[in-house]
Chains A and B, each alone.
Chain A
């Protein structure tokens, strides 16, 4: 639905428009199996490339970049930095993520930044921040600009974003303790399903961002209600899958260097 407010920066469409609503095909039960035939603990296939915007062929202004695909999720990230900060902190670099959905990325079109995007940007800095050696770059700022080109499953997109940013930061040559790998799970029929698509999106889901070499969980996010035991089981499963995602990201980095 387009905004009724007169937006002077853009050519306005009709004052009020509603998109057609398709009766959503939501996954009914786990027993029937997933629509794309995956196992319950299988992630969607990942394609990751480091350096599409920052290699020699294009006018390279980004220090590092990455393009990340996971099933239908497509995310592009560019990292600028370390560059001089507007408000320099003498002890460490200022790491900022700018998270944005493309207007066509989600099922509902929106071209203005919602508080959702702003909060996700803040949360991403908290999740990927622990991996960076911020004290190596005093008085500078490292900016990661993320654009979600296509989104499929809210938590899964967030997890994919973290993977993409880690890849771009590594491509930029910024000193890090480890790359952060993330994965998400949804709870359906008391079973944890890895990497839910938009159809499979559940009321309760968990996202874990993990650094395998340092053995540190840099981000946990849970929405929805569940008991402590189920929650712990979910976090444990997530951490295990993160290790596999980590291997994929490292392979992509190796490929970009060769």
Chain B
């Protein structure tokens, strides 16, 4: 979608094209290892920015708090082994160089369900990411140590996908209104939400991350366990829906406008 990025996706939730709109771009860069960092792992750096055009409160520094909160939420879900990505494969040469995946999300419109839209878009973007292939040459020098050098293949056709992206999680956000909760809240429902719980579930239905938001009230423990059970059930359906929509978007030709509902836009 975005030609300069290694991977990208745009996710829009809502009817008739009006709703929460998120654009995620992935850029892969090679980073030099510094002492103190993990020796043979790559890393993922997330950054979320709410565009001031999304809402009036986001003008200037108004969105700063929300940006930080969303960035850390994404980071908690995707940066690390719980995301399912094989971080060891992102390492090019141990103690020398590794891939850093910069996940940059731009929130274009907010009408409820921002975290879910972000996670959908990030998952789609990472699934579509293609890394250039790297060739590593190792020569043993006089002391018997292995000197390694790597070279990034310059061919646009010769690219590999990231290992383990099928294991990326999806999130479900539960908003508590009164004594019960709703999923996939609209703008109006979020306005009356007293507390929310975001649960990230992997395709194998494992819980990857749980985070509570909202400062007005807490959850009774019984409601909490009900929410976790529901999260697993809903996630099962969500993964099926995601797969279907992703495949439609990936095969879309230029100019095809997808139907309403949760949509992925293909190439511009």
- Residue numbers of A with Cβ under 8 A of B are 1, 18-19, 21, 95, 108, 115-116, 118-119, 122-123, 125-127, 129-130, 134, 203-204, 206, 209-211, 214-228, 231-232, 235-236, 239
B221:A21 contact, CB within 8 angstroms: no
Q: Which of B65, B218, B220, B221 has the most CB of A within 10 A?
A: B218
The docked-state distance in angstroms from the alpha carbon of A125 to that of B71 is: 17
Q: Nearest A residue to B66 by beta-carbon distance?
A: A122
A231:B207 contact, CB within 8 angstroms: yes
Q: Which of A130, A210, A226 has the most CB of B within 10 A?
A: A130
B68 in complex: contacting residue of A108, A118, A216, A236, CB < 8 Å:
A118
B68:A227 contact, CB within 8 angstroms: no
The docked-state distance in angstroms from the alpha carbon of A18 to that of B37 is: 12
Within the complex, what minimum Cβ distance (angstroms) separates A188 from chain B? 14
Give the residues in chain A near B76, CB-CB below 8 Å. Answer: 223
A218:B207 contact, CB within 8 angstroms: no
Within the complex, what minimum Cβ distance (angstroms) separates B195 from chain A? 7
Chain B contact residues: over half helix, strand or loop, or mixed? Answer: mixed
Q: Nearest A residue to B64 by beta-carbon distance?
A: A118
Q: Is B241 engaged at the interface, CB distance under 8 Å to the other chain? A: no
B209:A129 contact, CB within 8 angstroms: no
The docked-state distance in angstroms from the alpha carbon of A232 to that of B225 is: 7
> Could you name 24 residue pairs across A and B whose Cβ atoms are closer than 8 Å?
A1-B36, A115-B68, A115-B71, A118-B65, A119-B68, A119-B71, A122-B69, A123-B69, A123-B211, A127-B212, A130-B216, A134-B216, A209-B218, A216-B219, A217-B212, A217-B220, A217-B221, A220-B224, A221-B211, A222-B210, A224-B209, A227-B206, A228-B229, A231-B210
In the complex where A115-B68, A119-B71 touch, is A220 in contact with B206 (Cβ < 8 A)? Answer: no
Q: Nearest B residue to A116 by beta-carbon distance?
A: B72
A228 in complex: contacting residue of B71, B81, B206, B221, CB < 8 Å:
B206
Q: Beta-carbon contacts of B112-143 to A below 8 Å, as 1s and 0s? A: 00000000000000000000000000000000
Q: Find residues 33-47 in chain B having any chain A CB closer than 8 Å to their own CB.
A: 34-36
A225:B82 contact, CB within 8 angstroms: yes
Within the complex, what minimum Cβ distance (angstroms) separates B222 from chain A? 9
A18:B68 contact, CB within 8 angstroms: no
Q: How many residues of B contact A (CB 8 A)?
A: 38
In the complex where A129-B216, A218-B218 touch, is A228 in contact with B207 (Cβ < 8 A)? Answer: yes
Give the residues in chain B near A214, CB-CB below 8 Å. Answer: 218
Give the residues in chain A near B232, CB-CB below 8 Å. Answer: 228
B35 in complex: contacting residue of A21, A119, A123, A220, CB < 8 Å:
A21
Give the residues in chain A near B34, CB-CB below 8 Å. Answer: 1, 18
A221:B210 contact, CB within 8 angstroms: yes
The docked-state distance in angstroms from the alpha carbon of A174 to that of B81 is: 42
A215 in complex: contacting residue of B71, B72, B221, CB < 8 Å:
B221
B219:A119 contact, CB within 8 angstroms: no
B82:A224 contact, CB within 8 angstroms: yes
B208:A216 contact, CB within 8 angstroms: no
Given contacts A125-B215, A217-B221, 4 further A-B contacts (CB under 8 A): A130-B195, A218-B212, A219-B218, A228-B206
Give the residues in chain B near A118, CB-CB below 8 Å. Answer: 65, 68
In the complex where A125-B215, A220-B197 touch, is A225 in contact with B81 (Cβ < 8 A)? Answer: yes
B213:A126 contact, CB within 8 angstroms: yes
Q: Is B245 engaged at the interface, CB distance under 8 Å to the other chain? A: no
Q: Nearest B residue to A231 by beta-carbon distance?
A: B207
B202 in complex: contacting residue of A209, A217, A225, A239, CB < 8 Å:
A225
Give the residues in chain A near B210, CB-CB below 8 Å. Answer: 206, 220-222, 231
B220:A216 contact, CB within 8 angstroms: yes
Q: Nearest B residue to A135 by beta-carbon distance?
A: B216
The docked-state distance in angstroms from the alpha carbon of A186 to that of B144 is: 42
In the complex where A21-B36, A221-B212, A226-B207 touch, is A239 in contact with B68 (Cβ < 8 A)? Answer: no
The docked-state distance in angstroms from the alpha carbon of A105 to that of B72 is: 21
Q: Nearest B residue to A227 by beta-carbon distance?
A: B206
Closest 3 CB pairs of A and B: A129-B215, A218-B218, A216-B218
Q: Is B214 engaged at the interface, CB distance under 8 Å to the other chain? A: yes
Within the complex, what minimum Cβ distance (angstroms) separates A14 from chain B? 15
Within the complex, what minimum Cβ distance (angstroms) separates B133 from chain A? 29
Give the residues in chain A near B68, CB-CB below 8 Å. Answer: 115, 118-119, 122
Within the complex, what minimum Cβ distance (angstroms) separates B204 from chain A? 8
Q: Nearest A residue to B202 by beta-carbon distance?
A: A225
Give the residues in chain A near B84, CB-CB below 8 Å. Answer: 225
